Amino acid sequence: MTSKLTLHGVSKRYGPVTALHPTDLEVREGEFVTLLGPSGSGKSTLLKIIAGMELPTEGRIIINGRDATEMPVRERDLGMVFQNYALMPHLTVFDNVAFPLKIRKTATEEIRRKVHDALKTVQLEHLKDRKPQALSGGQQQRVSIARAIVYNPSLVLMDEPLGALDKKLREQLQFEIKELHDRLGITILYVTHDQQEAMSMSDRVALMNGGRIEQIGTPRQLYFTPETAFAADFLGSSNFIDATVTARTSERTVCRLSSGEEIAAPSREGFSEGQKVRLMVRPEHISLLGQAVSADRNVLKGVTTGTTFFGESAEIRARLAAGSEIAIRIPNDYSLPEAEPGAPLHLEWDVRQTHVFA
């Protein structure tokens, strides 16, 4: 597969502020890549540099095989969907979608056909004569999407396109964008700070933190094998437990908690005996059986401190013998005899679902 976008060591500084550390990134043809990260992590900065609205302090940008580092915005052959739609208020829906085609001096008949097709794709043909102000937020964003794909740009950038919509509409549009991507084979670089959105839509997620890409991979990779505590914490929920490495083989690393209990985890590079570490296990990977002692399971003792019901699941909070608080998520078809505050608990989970971080 060919590469639609390649970044080589792109960085951005505003005076003393480093908004983006040198960053490499590749987006392949037809891929859906998401930049995910908390506020201020540099997502918009990266997107603006790619779009050409900001110049990088260092590094090179290759779009569709051409060096675009110094290229004017208009020559980069990009599509863009903005958070606040950025539809021209003086133009009708039709003319908004026709805008990029008119700029390209496309023949009238072809404009009519392409706009029609694009509006049909987002199911808005019937509103083509309205002004954008007369549309709902979701409809406006669909127009904006139609406008970004009507001229087949190499790469479509989307900066928090669903940020201004309510939850229900957001979920529906997530689905529609994903479906559009799969059907038309367009290449999308998407920005969001909503981890659920990133996971459900993307082929790959680039997790950003403090102006750099912390980890990049498929949603499954990020979820099941987070490389840093930040990645583990940002994607999904997580429990952290302080421990010290006591033994290490090529397969297993064994750590001791302050209570003396031992936890095993799959070995990773870069840890040595005696090192202080943080162990992580996701609340939904813990179960409460605690009877079946096997070499593949970790077991801990705790005391219930509280329970919260979420409908489809429940969360039980427990205090470990080692002192720290831990959360357990379990499906709610369960009866929970031990869930009274103060009741002792036996927590148990798969060794492979234990992660060790420095």
Partner 1 sequence: MQTMHALETNTTIGKAHRGRIPIMIRTLGFGTFLLPLTVFMLLVFCVPLLGVARASFYTNGTWTLSAYREFVSGALFHRALINTLSIGFMTGLISVICGYFVAYHLSRMPQRKRRLYIILVMLPFWTSILVKSFAFTVLLGTNGIINQALQAISGTNVVVPMIFNRAGVIIGMAHWLIPFSVLPILSSLLSQDKALRDAAEVMGATGMQVFWKVTFPLSLPGVLASGLMASVIGMGSFVTPSLLGGRQDLMMANLVDFYVREALDWRMASAIAVVLILLALLILSTAAFVRTRLSR
Partner 2 sequence: MNTLHQSAKATSRLGRPISASVLIAWLVYLFLIVPSLIVVPMSFGTSNELVFPPQQWGLDLYAKALDPAQGWLSAGGRSFVLGLIATGLALMMGVPAAYGLSRTNFFGQKALSFMLLSPIFAPTIVVALALYLYFATLHINGSMLGLVMGHAVIITPFLVVTTLSGLKHLDRNIENAAMVMGATQLQVFFRVVLPAIKGPVLSGSLFAFLLSFDEVIVSWFIARSDQPTLPVKMYSSIQWEVSPVLAAISTFLVFITVIVSLVSAFAQPENTDGF
Ligand X SMILES: Nc1ncnc2c1ncn2[C@@H]1O[C@H](COP(=O)(O)OP(=O)(O)OP(=O)(O)O)[C@@H](O)[C@H]1O
84 binds, among partner 2, Mg ion, partner 1, none (CB under 5 to 8 A by kind): partner 1
Candidate list 2, 39, 133, 272; residue touching ligand X; CB under 6 A: 39
- The count of other CB atoms within 10 Å of the CB of residue 300 is 23
Q: Does 193 contact ligand X by CB under 6 A? A: yes
Question: How is residue 127 written in tokens?
Answer: 């509103």
- Closest to Mg ion by CB, 56 vs 290, is 56
DSSP-assigned beta bridge partners for residue 309: 314
53 binds, among Mg ion, partner 1, partner 2, none (CB under 5 to 8 A by kind): partner 1
User: Would you give the DSSP letter of residue 287?
Assistant: B
Residues 6 or more apart whose CB falls under 8 angstroms from that of 63 comprise: 4, 5, 50, 71, 76, 77, 78, 154, 155
147 binds, among partner 2, ligand X, partner 1, none (CB under 5 to 8 A by kind): partner 1
User: Would you give the DSSP letter of residue 86?
Assistant: -
* 34, 201 Cβ separation under 8 angstroms: yes
Residue whose C-alpha is closest to residue 230's, from 163, 280, 271: 280
Q: Is 178 helix (H, G, I), strand (E, B) or coil?
A: helix
Residues 48-77 that bind partner 2 (CB under 8 A): 54-55, 57, 70, 72-73
Q: Is 134 helix (H, G, I), strand (E, B) or coil?
A: helix
Q: Does 19 contact ligand X by CB under 6 A? A: yes
- Closest to ligand X by CB, 128 vs 193, is 193
- Looking at the chain, list the stretches that DSSP marks H as alpha helix, in order from N- to C-terminal side: 43-51, 93-103, 108-121, 137-149, 167-184, 195-201, 219-224, 229-234
Closest separation in Å from C-beta 180 to ligand X: 24
**Binding range to partner 1, per CB under 8 A, among 79-87, 192-200, 308-316, 321-329:** 79-87
17 binds, among partner 2, ligand X, Mg ion, none (CB under 5 to 8 A by kind): ligand X
55 binds, among Mg ion, partner 2, ligand X, none (CB under 5 to 8 A by kind): partner 2
Rounded CA separation 39/226 (Å): 20
Q: Does 44 contact Mg ion by CB under 5 A? A: yes
Question: How is residue 233 written in tokens?
Answer: 């914490």
Closest separation in Å from C-beta 21 to ligand X: 11
Candidate list 56, 79, 211, 226; residue touching partner 1; CB under 8 A: 79
Q: Does 17 contact ligand X by CB under 6 A? A: yes
Please report where in the chains the tokens 């990134």 appear, as a residue: 25
Q: In this structure, what is the dihedral angle of CA atoms 141, 216, 233, 286, given to the nearest 10 degrees?
A: 110
41 binds, among partner 2, partner 1, ligand X, none (CB under 5 to 8 A by kind): ligand X
- Closest to partner 1 by CB, 72 vs 331, is 72
What Cα–Cα distance (Å) separates residue 255 from each residue in 25, 168, 258, 263? 35, 44, 10, 5
Candidate list 7, 33, 78, 316; residue touching partner 1; CB under 8 A: 78
Q: Does 73 contact partner 1 by CB under 8 A? A: yes
Amino acid present at 268: R
Candidate list 27, 33, 80, 199; residue touching partner 1; CB under 8 A: 80
User: Would you give the DSSP letter of residue 151?
Assistant: T
Candidate list 23, 44, 64, 253; residue touching ligand X; CB under 6 A: 44
Question: How is residue 286 written in tokens?
Answer: 């813990």
Catalog residues that contact ligand X under the rule CB under 6 A.
14, 17, 19, 37, 39-45, 193
Catalog residues that contact partner 2 under the rule CB under 8 A.
13-14, 54-55, 57, 70, 72-73
Catalog residues that contact partner 1 under the rule CB under 8 A.
51-53, 72-80, 82, 84, 86, 88-90, 99-100, 103-104, 131, 147, 151, 157
